Amino acid sequence: MRLNGSLVGLGADDYRQQVHNICADRDIWRSLVALDINGFRNATRARAPYLPQPESDWQALYIMHLARVRMLHLSPQQKRYSEHWLREMAPKTRIAAAVGIAVRARNAGSVERAAQVQAAMSEAVLEAVKAGVDIETEVVEVHRRMKLARQKIVG
C-alpha cells in the first residue's frame, strides 16, 4: 500500500520483493551499467515513486555508484571504477549500517515486556558490533544473537 510516498503495511518479505523488483527492472539496470543519470532518475521515478527520489544529479550519481558496487552482474572493472569514484568524490560521506528491531506487544499487559525484549535485542546488536561482527555482512550471526537475547526475556 502507498501512502504519502512511502510503503505502509508491507511485511519484510513483501518489502524485499518490492526492492528486488526495482533492482531487476531493465531500465534501472541499464542506467546503472551505463551511468545514465537521466535514465536512472526517470526509471526510478516511474517504477518506484514511493521511494525517496534523488534531489540532484550528483545525489543520483552517488546512489548509482553505491548500487553498482553491490550489483552481482557487473564487470569487475566497472565495480572498481565505482569504488574508486566513491573514494575520490565522496570522501566525507559515510555509509551507516543499521539493524531494525520491531517488537509488538500482544496486549496492554505485555507492553513492558516488549520494551524489555527490544532493549535486550538492541544490546545484543551493540555487543555483536563490539565483538567485531560486521552487521552488514554477518546478518545470520546478528540475527542469532538477537534471538538469543529475546529468548532470555521471553523464556
Do residues 67 and 136 both lie within one domain? no
Do residues 34 and 7 both lie within one domain? yes
- Averages of pLDDT over runs of 10 residues in the chain (155 residues) are 40 61 79 93 86 85 87 90 87 70 85 91 92 87 93 88
CA atoms of 65 and 67, how far apart (whole Å):
5
**How many Å is the Cα radius of gyration of the chain?**
19
CA atoms of 120 and 62, how far apart (whole Å):
36
Do residues 120 and 46 both lie within one domain? no
Do residues 130 and 54 both lie within one domain? no
> Looking at residue 5, what is its pLDDT?
37
> Looking at residue 147, what is its pLDDT?
93
Domain range for 44 is: 2-89
100 found inside a domain: no
> Looking at residue 91, what is its pLDDT?
57
> Looking at residue 69, what is its pLDDT?
87
In the chain, % helix, strand, coil (3-state, to 5) comes to: 65, 5, 35
97 found inside a domain: no
Nearest to 122 by CA among 141, 150, 97, 81: 150
> Looking at residue 62, what is its pLDDT?
86
Long-range Cβ pairs for the range 49-54 (8 Å, 24+): 49/2, 49/5, 50/2, 50/5, 50/6, 50/7, 51/22, 52/5
Do residues 64 and 125 both lie within one domain? no
101 found inside a domain: no
103 found inside a domain: no
**How many domains would you assign to the chain?**
2
Single pTM value for the model: 0.51
51 found inside a domain: yes
